[in-house]
Amino acid sequence: MEENETVISLENVTVRLAGRTVLDNVGFEVKRGEFVAVLGPNGAGKTMLMKLLLGLLKQAEGSVTVLGKPPRRGNREIGYAPQHRVLETDLALRARDVVGLGLDGNRWGIWLSGRKREELIDNVLKEMDVYRLGNAPAGQLSGGEQQRVLIAQALIADPEILLLDEPLSNLDITHAQEVILLLTKRLCPSKQKGAHICHERKVTIMLVTHDINPLLPIVDKVLYMSDGRGVMGTPEEIITSETLSKLYRTKVEVVRSGGRVFVAGAET
């Protein structure tokens, strides 16, 4: 694996659904090991971008490559935790069963059996700090616990790319910070808080969020989207009044205070 290898590439990509353009001439590259936060208002095209990378949508124009190939469904090299997924309270599956679906949920039968499979499940439950809940009914866990279980499911196959669609949206500030720190521990345990967490394992993360502030110490790049269009760069390059005003085609003010970023005049 090369240090500066491009693992996700979009070039002049347009996606249309039911006659409506949901991604409009989008282009960017993501390198191996980068952590990218995807920002923008509702309806900006963030979830559609995730579906495109997962092979669930096809572009009308332009080219897309993921790990050097066109996107395809069921790619085990991509881990994915979908948006606003809440497990039903009467779900009979245990937390460890839900995590195990990340290994063999896309095929008939069990891919790994016996001790090896259970070890993998135990390890990722421990890393996401939900090992003690492994035998609990998944639907009866709290929102934060369920989110950790679903991220564990996305991580268990040791993917090269991890796509997380608003994993922090239904969590309070404390639980959101806990999830971020657990991801840091899982992906790069030797790094200290504030370091770039993906670099040691060379896992690439794209995380959709409405609030960049909890992620500012650890993200490498920001992809800011509006009306199906997007711009990518470092937080310092992209989250500026000038750049966001051009993207939104209206006056946007960016204020930095106390280590946090506030955007006025545009929904974030």
CA distance linking residue 219 with residue 234, whole number of Å: 8
Q: What pLDDT does residue 213 have? A: 86
Asked if 89 and 146 count as a contact pair (C-beta separation under 8 A), the reply is no
Residues 79-92: tens digit of each pLDDT = 998 875 667 777 77
Is pLDDT of 20 > 60?
yes
Asked if 239 and 260 count as a contact pair (C-beta separation under 8 A), the reply is no
Residue 249 DSSP label: T
Asked if 21 and 15 count as a contact pair (C-beta separation under 8 A), the reply is yes
From the candidate CATH numbers 3.40.190.10, 3.40.1350.10, 3.30.70.2860, 3.40.50.300, the one assigned to the domain spanning 1-77+161-184+191-234: 3.40.50.300
pLDDT > 70 fraction of the chain, expressed in percent and rounded? 86
Average pLDDT, the chain: 84
204 phi/psi in degrees, rounded to 5: -100, 130
Q: What pLDDT does residue 197 have? A: 38
Confidence of residue 215 (pLDDT cuts 50, 70, 90): confident
Is pLDDT of 66 > 70?
yes
Coil, helix or strand at residue 124: helix
Residues 183-213: tens digit of each pLDDT = 766 565 544 444 443 545 578 999 998 888 8
Q: What pLDDT does residue 196 have? A: 42
Residues 99-133: tens digit of each pLDDT = 998 887 554 444 555 788 899 999 989 888 899 99
Q: What pLDDT does residue 31 have? A: 94
Q: What pLDDT does residue 113 have? A: 58
Coil, helix or strand at residue 172: coil
Coil, helix or strand at residue 146: helix
Q: Which of 24-28, 118-122, 178-182 has the lowest mean pLDDT?
A: 178-182
Q: Which ranges in the chain are annotated with CATH 3.40.50.300? A: 1-77+161-184+191-234
- Please say whether the dihedral angle defined by the alpha carbons of residues 182, 187, 190 and 194, taken in this order, is positive or negative: negative
Residues 233-259: tens digit of each pLDDT = 999 999 999 998 988 888 989 899 888
